[in-house]
Structure 1
Amino acid sequence: MPSELEDLVEFLHHGNTQVRQIAVENLVPYSTSQPSIFKRHQLLPINDLKLLIRDYPQIAKNVLTILVNLSGEDGEVRAKLVSDDEFLESLLKRVTDTKEPHADLQCMLLANLSKSPSIPKLLSLQRPVPTPLSTSPFAIDQLLDCFVKGSGGSYNKDANHDYLSYLFADLAKHAAGREYFLTPRKEDEGIVPLSKIIVFTEHGSAIRRRGVANTIKNVCFDVPAHPRLLYSDTDLETPDDVTNPIGLLPYILLPLMGSESFSDEDTEGMLDECQLLPPDKERDNQPDIMATHLESLLLLTTEKESRARLRAVKTYPIVRECHLQVEDEGVREGCDRLVQVLMREEGMKVSEGEGEGGDGEGRVEEVDEDEDEDEQIVDVV
């Protein structure tokens, strides 16, 4: 005989609104404690839940909570949801709706679905243009506009759309995603998508900062794009062959900086944005986000020319002070790895040493230039 819980799942497609509401309210805790109950009969309950996100607001809220919980850990559930284009359209319609009361739950669900290997389909998916939010027919452009314009509830008073940054980070793990973030969009007056989100590295929301930081890090795996990332269109030093420069550096260096002062020698050549900071300037208060920025900088040391650029803008003094001021081991380890690359001479490599007190200074050895270049390919996961 079916258990009471199995009977409750059967009520998800009941014709009476009150019965459905009672069912989903009582099923919410089981989406974490007994998720298998929703996978009965070849995931038939998931089909019911997909339809119920269109139901009355309170029912939809509980259904979204259940789907967020289920999709966070279960790849089979994610695949079921991502493969349904009609369901994706229903999600996108609500995320981009300025009056949707549960848009942030929709964003959380999209962030979970981004773990699916099929999520790059969003990069080419077209749908109706949600004016005045966006002018592009591409779903990814609309989501990016929603993220930018929705900060702090400025687009939808009930949502901040911060969790979309996690979606962007996962998309940037794919080559097609990195290409999207680095390519000027004709649908958006030639703006490079990455340039629209890097401005949030010092935003008040840790969720938004974390997602943006990881998006940047994943984009940095595109080594040929490093010159564009390292220079801006206002830099006098920008090489002539660098087109569509993005100017990433201030946005990943400033979160590592506090209000400390630097010597004239240290500041000479430092980016303007990193000089004369206010006395109340604070570093990012999330060590994992700082560590992610340090990983991005390490990835940017892959090429000799990139290392020269990082040295020229005085990255080392900034990282040195970060190491001195932050006690988190992950941040200090990231500082150590980066400093070992920046402070060695080209044609030399740093071997791991056993300095007194574990200072990590190591030994300097001569190597062939070709070997040195290979050493720079850093795999950060």
Structure 2
Amino acid sequence: MLSDSEAAELLSFLAPGTRPDVKGHTTGYILGLSGHRDGCRFLRSKPDLISALFALTSDPSIAIVKDCYHILINLSADETLHQVLMNDVNVVPVLLKNTMDPDFPFSDQICSILSNLTRHEKTCKSLFKEDVGLAQLVDIFCTEGYNKNAKFHYLAPMLSNLTQLPEARHFLMDKDRCVIQRLLPFTQFQASVVRRGGVIGVLRNCCFDYANHDWLLSDAVDILPFLLLPLAGPEELSEEENEGLPVDLQYLPEDKKREDDPDIRKMLLETLMLLTATKAGRKALKDKNVYPIMREFHRWETDTKVTAACEKLVQVLIGDEPEQGMENLMEVEIPEHVEEKLKEADAKEQQELESEEDRRQIHEEAENEEGTQTRQD
């Protein structure tokens, strides 16, 4: 790794007045450095270097700006750099301001950085306190063509991360705002697995607040068809089974395809499972004839983790009601040793999901030539 004197020399090459070719070579070198854990940890100890790189995101050279944003994406993917980026360099206010600019050319890169920064609860809380402008972010996310340079797909995982927080969930489920309803159609947004997955993550997090289940299942939101449609296939159901289903799920065409991403299918099932936590939720899912959709889905599914999630849901749908005093499954006391094991399993699963998210991010952005690819000298 670089010595302190070499790092100081590198910093001198990042001054705004430095020749563009020298600056470009330097940002290219640091981009390569940031592609490795050791390089990220080295840069963590050099906040002045990160500040200089952040200042160059307004450089006249597009190539240099692009390098700098990709460096910041790489650094923000490492949780140990979050406090440096947010406190020492104070990136968030500028990033949010630029995201709101409908002509800004690097909004997608900013969305990737913000998505990374909100992955962990501590930095998520810090970012939310920055007056994140949730209403405007949702508006941008839902407005096609808001910025001709950006797709804003990575706002979806950012919103999903933010809904770890009760305050963010409270905003999205404010009955007077009609926010969550605007997100529902994106559960079947075919152009981006990141957008679909992020929105379904938002819905799953919102369903942890069981006090809102009646409202989510009511005509005011009507969440159920948006969760079921991606899981429904072309199988022919009986007339009686079709008539019991929500209208959008009746008599589906022969070419109806299911969600092709297993992680997203699992999230959809987990969201449905959360809705069965209350007696009223279980009744709603049974009344809406969810079981035949799950029966056919189970026959089709090949992923063992998804199959296991489906079987849990089916057991609730066909099983007897819990005994008196246990009607609300979210309020049932869990023994401490069992809770510890569940937490360990959740942590392992979250780690796997984040690794998968990183792979997705690299793959999707590479396809759009907007990627997080690391150029190495």
Q: 2:151 aligns with which of 155, 160, 175?
A: 160
Matches within 5 A, 1:92-103: 92-103=96-107
Asked if 1:227 corresponds to 2:214, the answer is yes
Identity of aligned pairs, percent? 31
Q: Distance in 1 between matches of 2:295 and 2:86?
A: 45
Match of 2:35, SS? helix
2:16–2:56 contact (8 Å) kept in structure 1:
no
1:174 aligned partner? 165
2:135 aligned partner? 141
1:256–1:322 contact (8 Å) kept in structure 2:
yes
**CA separation of 1:295 and 1:82: change in aligned 2, threshold 3 A:** same
Match of 1:29, SS? helix
Q: Which amino acid aligns with 2:171?
A: Y
Deviation at 1:35, TM superposition (A): 1.5
2:265 aligned partner? 290
Q: Which has the higher mean CA deviation after the structures are superposed, 299-308 or 12-21?
A: 12-21
Deviation at 1:13, TM superposition (A): 2.9
Q: Which amino acid aligns with 1:16?
A: T
Q: Which runs of 5+ in 1 are unaligned?
A: 127-137, 185-189, 233-244, 348-367
Q: 1:13 aligns with which of 12, 15, 24?
A: 15
Q: Which runs of 5+ in 2 are unaligned?
A: 335-341, 347-377
**CA separation of 1:212 and 1:269: change in aligned 2, threshold 3 A:** same
- The TM-score, its normalising length taken from structure 2, stands at 0.80
Asked if 1:105 corresponds to 2:109, the answer is yes
Deviation at 1:39, TM superposition (A): 2.3
More helix by share: 2
Q: Distance in 2 between matches of 1:87 and 1:74?
A: 15
Which portions of structure 1, spanning 4 or more consecutive aligned residues, are displaced by more than 6 angstroms? none
Q: Distance in 2 between matches of 1:372 and 1:200?
A: 32
Q: Distance in 2 between matches of 1:94 and 1:182?
A: 27
1:119 aligned partner? 124
Matches within 5 A, 1:163-242: 163-184=154-175, 190-204=176-190, 205-232=192-219
Q: Which amino acid aligns with 2:117?
A: L
**Number of residue-to-residue matches in the alignment:** 328
Deviation at 1:85, TM superposition (A): 9.3
Q: Cα deviation per residue 1:263-283 (whole Å; 9 max; x = unaligned)?
A: 122223210011122222110
**CA separation of 1:40 and 1:11: change in aligned 2, threshold 3 A:** farther
Deviation at 1:74, TM superposition (A): 2.8
1:104–1:163 contact (8 Å) kept in structure 2:
yes
Q: Distance in 1 between matches of 2:35 and 2:107?
A: 22
Q: Cα deviation per residue 1:194-217 (whole Å; 9 max; x = unaligned)?
A: 111111000011010010111111
**CA separation of 1:288 and 1:376: change in aligned 2, threshold 3 A:** farther
1:122–1:139 contact (8 Å) kept in structure 2:
no
Root mean square deviation of aligned Cα: 2.4
Q: Distance in 2 between matches of 1:125 and 1:22?
A: 34
1:122–1:140 contact (8 Å) kept in structure 2:
no
Asked if 1:265 corresponds to 2:240, the answer is yes
Q: Distance in 1 between matches of 2:84 and 2:251?
A: 53
Q: Which amino acid aligns with 2:310?
A: C
Q: Distance in 2 between matches of 1:346 and 1:8?
A: 67
Q: Distance in 2 between matches of 1:66 and 1:16?
A: 19
Q: Distance in 1 between matches of 2:274 and 2:89?
A: 36
Larger RCO (CA within 8 A; separation ≥ 6):
2
1:124–1:139 contact (8 Å) kept in structure 2:
no
Match of 2:91, SS? helix
Q: Which amino acid aligns with 1:260?
A: E
Match of 2:244, SS? coil
1:287–1:331 contact (8 Å) kept in structure 2:
yes
